[in-house]
A and B are shown apart, each in its own frame.
Chain A
Amino acid sequence: MSIDVRFNIQRGDFNLVINTVIPNKGVTAIFGPSGSGKTTLLRAISGLEQCEDGYLKVGETVWQDNCWFVPTYKRKIAYVFQEPSLFSHLNVQNNINYGMTRAKCRNSVDKLQYTIELLQISHLLERMPWQLSGGEQQRVAIARALAADPTMLLLDEPLAALGDEQKAAILPFLESVYKTLAIPVLYVSHSREEVACLADHLLLLDHGRVHAAGTVQDIFTDIDLPLAHQTGAESIIEATVAGYDTSFGLVQLKFSGGTFSVASASLPAHSNVRIQVLARDVSITLERQKNTSILNIIAVTIDRIEPEKNAQMILRLIAGNTVLLSRISCKSAYDLDLKKGDKVYAQIKSASLLI
């Protein structure tokens, strides 16, 4: 099951040419700089942006081809816009009901109740939109979208219009929403933090073209793509909670290629966690160090070495199925005589691991 997308959209000087396949499950982030065509692509998938030269097949259903166009209101999608866009003449409850009453298969009361509780808006139901803060409005908009029982959730930078504080407040809601949903989520973003936290797959857009597509782990650590060369370059590791060291408050996180010890006692046993490892926090030694404060030492093989600006090198390291990035100075790389294929050790301070 997948989403086949082929669009050729001309809007003034801007030309969007897309020919790609998006997985029909999980969270796919459409990622790229402003003006790269992210929103236009999302609108084309929703049917809000109409183009003559396009083909769109979701699972087994064709939504658009040369002689067929399913209008937006018949596509069972939910769309969360950049700004909250609640209907100003309806209160919160009626905003949520708007999509629900029009969905063909009625959402069960329990499911709606669950959504309302998940987004913590039950105390707002009687209020009018203008009585809510921006963050509350966006939470209602997300609940309204989910209540319509969609088969696909489209989000256009839903956090972009919010301040950092509100963003941090909504991010966990989105995470739990995605985790509980069985439908594909397409998520437009230009924030790498959001993508690193939320996305499974990544569609990298640039100037109206697909620059790359793949899993977040692969794209973030692909040396040939720009993400691995940015200041915040990082690798993303999926791990499971394997054990606890209660005397020191540490959690053992096991992943393909090694184990990390992290100071975070709140994680439940056997749960899956996502670890973000910044390239600048990973250092290299030729031998396994003893008598060091660094807890996490992983045996890795150097896959690639590329020079960066500012007299630095970026290293792509392999441990099992896991890829790590490391940014070190040119001098260190020269002194250690690092080459592709070398077996070395990667050291990461446990305090610098982001979960």
Chain B
Amino acid sequence: MILSDQDFTALFVTLKLASISTIILLILGTPLAWWLARSQWRFKYVVEAIIALPLILPPTVLGFYLLISLGPNGPLGSLLKMLGAAPLPFTFIGLVIGSVFYSMPFVVQPLQTAFSGIGQRPLEVAATLGASRLDRFVTIVLPMARPGFITASVLGFAHTLGEFGVVLMIGGNIPGTTQVVSIAIYDHVEALEYSQAHGLAGTLLILSFTLLMIVYGANRRYAVGHP
């Protein structure tokens, strides 16, 4: 096998980062997207613009600001220091925070679109049939927005899988802790270890492709027959 132990570790860190980030993104993104889809607040567009920022901002810019604010002298960093917590830059948790910011639009936007698409009517019907607010969300919104959740999860996971700039800025390149596949491949190429770079890149390619096939296949089976 051409993959070294360190490569496997990088792969493991990457998958762990992507999974944890996706779960956190779904937990944070769902209420946020719901609020964006339903709110009549006139300054809603400001929030939408902030969430969409990572779409156009170079990842290094986002990573730089996160590094500054999470660092021991930054606003968040000094707050954490006051609370007695360890500084976050160059840790796995710091990486997760960076990923969540970076991938937020890829999760919030499909969810917002899905929620808006449901419209008011099914919820009104459910209300007249005796379903409370939470009941309506669980039994009507979640199943009807299912394709949106699948897209959001795939995009959030895939986007975290491929990130480079934010990770490098905020996580550094510590094997076993913050070294992810994309950076490991870069290291291999820099060191002219092309066969190892091939192994890692190929593994990531096959993994991503398989994942996407499974998800879209499942989604297609669900949607079959719909007009």
B121 touches A81 (CB 8 A): yes
Known: A73-B131, A89-B143. A130 touches B227 (CB 8 A): yes
Q: Are A81 and B129 in contact (CB under 8 A)?
A: no
Within 8 A of B (CB), among A83-106: 83, 85, 87-89, 98-99, 102-103
If A88-B144, A89-B144 touch, does A102 touch B130 (CB 8 Å cutoff)? yes
| Interface presence of A48 (CB below 8 A) | yes
Contact yes or no, A77 B226, CB < 8 A: no
Contact of B127 among A72, A89, A145 (CB under 8 A): A72
Is A187 among interface residues, defined by CB-CB distance under 8 A? no
List residues of B (102-132) whose CB comes within 8 Å of A's CBs: 121-122, 124-132
- Taking a contact as CB atoms under 8 Å apart, the answer to whether B129 and A144 are in contact is yes
Q: Could you tell me the distance between the alpha carbons of A99 and B131 in the complex, rounded to whole angstroms?
A: 8
Q: Which of B122, B128, B139, B144 contacts A72 (CB 8 A)?
A: B128
Count residues on chain B whose CB falls below 8 Å from chain A CBs: 21
Find residues 137-181 in chain B having any chain A CB closer than 8 Å to their own CB: 139-140, 143-144, 146
Partner of A73 from B127, B143, B146 at Cβ < 8 Å: B127
Does A240 belong to the interface (CB within 8 Å)? no
Closest-CB distance, A216 to chain B (whole angstroms): 26
A99 near B140: Cβ-Cβ < 8 Å: no
Chain A residues with Cβ under 8 A from B126's Cβ?
73, 87, 98
User: A228: which B residues are within 8 A, CB to CB?
Assistant: none
Does chain B have a CB within 8 A of A46? yes
- Contact status B128-A46, CB under 8 Å: yes
* A148 and B129 within 8 A (CB): yes
Q: Write out the residue numbers on chain B whose beta carbons fall within 8 Å of the beta carbon of A71.
A: 127, 132
CA distance A298 to B128 in the complex (A): 48
- A302 CB–B CB distance under 8 Å: no
Contact with B along A131-154 (1 / 0, CB 8 A): 000000000000011001000001
Enumerate chain A residues within 8 angstroms of B225, measured Cβ to Cβ.
128, 130
The answer to whether A73 and B132 have CB atoms under 8 Å apart is yes
Alpha-carbon separation in the docked complex, A48 to B121 (Å): 10
Known contacts A87-B125, A130-B227; A99 and B130 CB within 8 A of each other: yes
Please, how many angstroms separate the alpha-carbon atoms of A71 and B122 in the complex? 16
How long is the Cα–Cα vector from A144 to B130 in the complex, in angstroms? 12
One digit per residue, 1 when the CB lies within 8 angstroms of any chain B CB and 0 when it does not, for chain A 201-218 equals 000000000000000000
Do A77 and B128 have beta carbons less than 8 Å apart? yes
Q: Which residue of B lies closest to A99 (CB)?
A: B129
A-side contacts of B133, CB under 8 Å: 73
> Which chain A positions have C-beta within 8 A of B143?
89
Q: A130-B226, A130-B227 are in contact. Are A103 and B130 (CB under 8 A)?
A: yes
Q: In the bound complex, do residue A102 and residue B226 qualify as a contact, i.e. CB atoms below 8 Å apart?
A: no
Given A99-B130, A130-B225, A130-B226, 9 more contacts at CB 8 Å?
A: A46-B128, A48-B128, A71-B127, A71-B132, A73-B126, A73-B132, A76-B130, A79-B125, A103-B130
* 10 A-B pairs with the lowest CB-CB distances in the bound complex, closest first: A99-B129, A102-B130, A79-B128, A72-B127, A89-B143, A73-B127, A85-B125, A73-B130, A85-B121, A48-B124
Residues of B bordering A, CB below 8 Å: 121-122, 124-133, 135, 139-140, 143-144, 146, 225-227
The interface of chain A, by Cβ under 8 A from chain B, is 46-48, 71-74, 76-79, 81, 83, 85, 87-89, 98-99, 102-103, 128, 130, 144-145, 148, 154
23 pairs from A and B in contact (CB 8 Å cutoff): A46-B128, A48-B128, A72-B124, A73-B126, A73-B127, A73-B129, A73-B133, A73-B135, A76-B130, A77-B128, A79-B124, A88-B122, A89-B143, A89-B146, A98-B139, A102-B130, A103-B130, A130-B225, A130-B227, A144-B129, A145-B128, A145-B129, A148-B129
